[in-house]
Amino acid sequence: MFEQTIFFDTEAEHESKADNYRFFERHACEGSPSASYLAKPSFRAERAVVRDVSLRGIGLIARRPANAGTVLAIRLKDTQSGMECILSAEVRRCAQQSDDTWLLGCQLSRSLSDAEMFSMLSAEKTDDPQG
């Protein structure tokens, strides 16, 4: 799964660059840890795979799209470390991937702790969201 962000030099496109700017470095989750989430207002449970994380952001690969601005309750669970948490996040962008999944770029309502970050980055391979 490869996604490329392209910036244009027109004035309108230049102004939108601020929307794509990330303040924290993103780290790929090599083990593709699983997550589940509820989206307002339907609160329908969905499964996803964590693609990447940063201190204040998370990239989820999901089976269904979500509109920018949608608030999610994301449940992360690492069976190796026993870490489990529920995070609140807002979808900032949604992009269809070549395999008909969706990349949800989300801004977390709080920073991840060191333990949460470590757990996501060291998690083992889990189910994919199409299953």
**Tell me, what CATH number does 102's domain have?**
2.40.10.220
Q: Is residue 94 part of a domain?
A: yes
For the chain, the straight-line distance linking the first and the last C-alpha, in angstroms and rounded, comes to: 17
Q: Is residue 110 part of a domain?
A: yes
Q: Which domain holds residue 73?
A: 25-122
Q: Is residue 15 part of a domain?
A: no
- What does residue 88 show for φ and ψ, rounded to 5 degrees? -95, 135
d(CA 94, CA 43): 18
Identify residue 63 by its one-letter amino acid code. R
- The answer to whether the pTM exceeds 0.85 is no
Q: Is residue 13 part of a domain?
A: no
Q: Is residue 77 part of a domain?
A: yes
Identify the bridge partners of residue 87 per DSSP, sorted by sequence position. 74
In this prediction, residue 124 carries a pLDDT of 61
- What does residue 70 show for φ and ψ, rounded to 5 degrees? -65, 135
Decide if pLDDT at 2 tops 80.
no
How many distinct structural domains can be found in the chain? 1
In this prediction, residue 26 carries a pLDDT of 79
